[in-house]
Amino acid sequence: MIPKLEFGKTGHLSTRIIFGAAALSNVTQAEADQTFEVLLKYGINHIDTAAGYGESELRIGPWMEKHRNKFFLATKVFRRSYKDALNQINSSLERLRATSIDLIQFHNLTSKDSWKKVMGSDGALKAAIEAREQGLVKYIGVTGHGYTVAAMHQRSLEQFEFDSVLLPYNYVMMQNSEYAADFDNLLEICKERNVAVQTIKSLARGPWGKKKRIRSTWYELFKDQADIDRAVHWVLGREGIFLNSSADIHILPKILDAAIRFKKGPPEEEMQGKVIQLGMKPIFDGRSLVL
């Protein structure tokens, strides 16, 4: 059984593995249907998609018509103005074939200019609040990538009472002392305020570099079950966080299989050794932050 955890203050008991529906960006409906059968088999009850994930919302739609009550449904808007964001929320509802979305999130809110636009008087936050008041969405979250995101999420939480955050978390990334400190501080704040913490990029091995790209992800994933087990168990070993699955439907069963067998995270010495043995590298560029 995949462990479950209360998703912040929403009252929803989510599986600690959340289906990252970026994996449905460029698949057929038949492939999406097979993927949903896998989710049902493993009892996954939380889906995370985005308006910017290609065909993902459209692939999810037919399943929401039949199984909406089985899933906590989250999507994201990448538009920054009030009008554009509100239009995108309505478009997502139509594409998802749903009357409401459980969680609407601001997609990759990490730049200074985007942050100001979203939080401004005519920004996307206003649209999300209005949609919540109308019953179109229930909760509001914020997401992001890169080394500055944990610090930016702290800034966002100072500005507004978000219900969730989403950001990268893997062993290699946490070897960056500044990011690790920012992540730890953010996690403490979220624990105090009962804000759900979702993590991404758990299976990142490194950039593709000169290697032939054989997966749908823009970075190289672990592919062997033992390596996936180690990465998944390392994330789940951190209490109070969720793991959003990688953007590849073919890796999903291995992630879920690893989660079912989770007992505790691997020791530090093992992780250090595997970084060298497997040639693990950061997938993001260095750190820079202007607040």
What's the pLDDT score for residue 216?
75
What domains can be seen in the chain, in order of their start residue? 4-277 (3.20.20.100)
pLDDT at 77 over 80: yes
pLDDT at 167 over 60: yes
Q: Quickly state the pLDDT bin for 126 (edges 50, 70, 90).
A: very high
What's the pLDDT score for residue 1?
85
Average pLDDT over residues 267-281: 96
Q: Quickly state the pLDDT bin for 5 (edges 50, 70, 90).
A: very high
Q: Quickly state the pLDDT bin for 287 (edges 50, 70, 90).
A: low
User: What's the pLDDT tens digit per position in 191-231?
Assistant: 999 999 999 999 999 998 777 676 678 789 999 999 999 99
| Spatial distance between the Cα atoms of 50 and 57, rounded to a whole number of angstroms | 7
pLDDT at 84 over 90: yes
pLDDT at 286 over 70: no
Beta-strand pair 17-20/46-48: parallel
> Residues 6 or more apart from 128 whose CB is under 8 A from it?
77, 85, 89, 104, 106, 137, 140
| Secondary structure element (H or E) that encloses residue 107, with its range | none
| Spatial distance between the Cα atoms of 1 and 256, rounded to a whole number of angstroms | 10
What's the pLDDT score for residue 288?
42
DSSP string, 131-172: HHHTTSEEEEEEE--STTHHHHHHHHHHHS--SEEEEE--TT
